[in-house]
Amino acid sequence: MRQNRGMAMARHWYSSAPVVEGLPLLGEPGFWAAHLVDLCEGVPPEVFGVDAGDAGAMVERLHDKWAWPMFTVPLTGGFSIVVHYNSGEEYTVMDYFLVHPGSSDTVLASTDQDRTGPGLCWPELSAILPAPDGAVGVTDRHVRLLLLLPVLGDCAAPAEAVAAVAEALIAHGAPDGCEPLARRLLGGHPMWGAQSWSFDADERSWICDGEHSLRRTPLGDHLPQHRRAALEACLNAAEPDS
């Protein structure tokens, strides 16, 4: 795997950083308006059903240089997606890693200066919304969806994606009729936007056309075959219906 600070901070670096568990923040007022702020610049926090003051206070907490929130989204097969806030430089960076205890971490996306992303297409994100039985970490499907939206970038996201995002927003305080906000959030992070994806049947992997994406090569091609098979299973990397 290509991994250096120019692309995204190597995750092992976080072991000496002021990382804190982010789970307690998920239920705090203003969290989703703050976490998703880059995807909907100019949209007032009230659209999320929260007060602007609460959203502003949460932005400050997420950008705290002395407490970097981390969230773990458990997948099947021992894999997880780990979301790190990194406020150790002049600005806050978000790093998304695909991790497994027996493998090197894979960078999915990062908002560092090299704008690495997108890291997931809609079929993959949709497949990992249910948490494995007995999983520890972020297990609620609505929370998993909203937490991972910044790593998504898929210009072919279907109508069901809008409905799923709207449902998740409403479950966390947004008013009914928030479909326009859901569509805005599905437009992709401004650093890389929504991109075209295609499924490579030989590699059994989704491939992204975006110039900033590491998914231009098959996900998991650096893994041993048995681990790659487990990764394909956890992302449900089946050939799409024609």
Q: Is the pLDDT of residue 30 over 70?
A: yes
For the chain, the structural domain boundaries read: 11-234
Mean model confidence pLDDT for the chain: 89
* Calculated CA dihedral for residues 152, 86, 105, 208, nearest 10 degrees: 20
The model's confidence at residue 147, banded by pLDDT at 50, 70 and 90, is very high
- Please give the residue that has the higher pLDDT: either 231 or 239: 231
Residue type, 203: E
Q: Are 108 and 125 in contact (CB under 8 A)?
A: no
Q: Is the pLDDT of residue 3 over 60?
A: no
- pLDDT tens, 190-230? 999 999 999 998 888 999 999 999 999 998 887 788 888 88
Task: Report the b/e string of 140-154 with b at 16+ CB within 10 A.
Answer: ebbbbbbbbbbbbbb
- pLDDT tens, 55-99? 999 999 999 999 999 999 999 989 999 999 999 767 899 999 999
Q: Is-above-0.75 flag for pTM?
A: yes
